Amino acid sequence: MRRTRATQATTPPEIHKPDEQWRQELTRQQYDVLRRGHTEQAFTGRYLYAKGNGSYYCAGCGNELFRSDAKFASGTGWPSFVQPASEAAVELRTDQGWLLRRTEVVCRRCGGHLGHVFRDGPRPTRRRYCINSCALSFEPTPSDRDPGDGQPGG
């Protein structure tokens, strides 16, 4: 028995794709970060200094992960957020392989590696979600978009 619609779960359905498919759909860098847990080089990400209003979606599956109002300048070299868009958007996994214990942040929907969360963020959450730019895809809110003047294709 397989139910396609859970009545009480807030967790979005998980996306499972063969590794080969991820390789084809993602850029090399996105694949290395999302599927292999790599970290992009500090101060190189496209969203590091981004300030526009909108939402950051998973580059792998389109799940809404963070909102621009939770973004802050941490000075660490990666986009940083005080909280996810919703509790159900991400999953936290304790990563105990190293001397330093870190908490990994993954996309709840596709399991893609996003970054890590630390406890040195600003008030009120004190959390710093340190996220790779290439794991994200930004969409500005409609009101923040250029109204446009009828030009096709912008």
Q: Which residues contact 46 (CB under 8 A, 6 or more apart)?
A: 133, 134
Least distance CB 60 / Zn ion (angstroms): 4
Give dist(CA 62, CA 67) in Å, integer: 13
60 makes contact with Zn ion (CB under 5 A): yes
| Closest to 40 in 3D by CA, of 51, 49, 50, 29 | 29
112 makes contact with Zn ion (CB under 5 A): yes
Residue pair 100/151 in contact by the 8 Å Cβ criterion: no
Catalytic: which of 58, 61, 107, 130?
A: 130
Least distance CB 8 / Zn ion (angstroms): 22
Identify the residue among 61, 89, 130, 134 touching Zn ion (CB under 5 A). 61
Annotation marks residue 110 as catalytic? no
Candidate segments 50-58, 86-94, 117-125, 134-142, binder of Zn ion by CB under 5 A: 50-58
Give the type of residue at 96. Q
Binding residues (CB under 5 A) for Zn ion: these are 58, 60-61, 63, 107, 109-110, 112
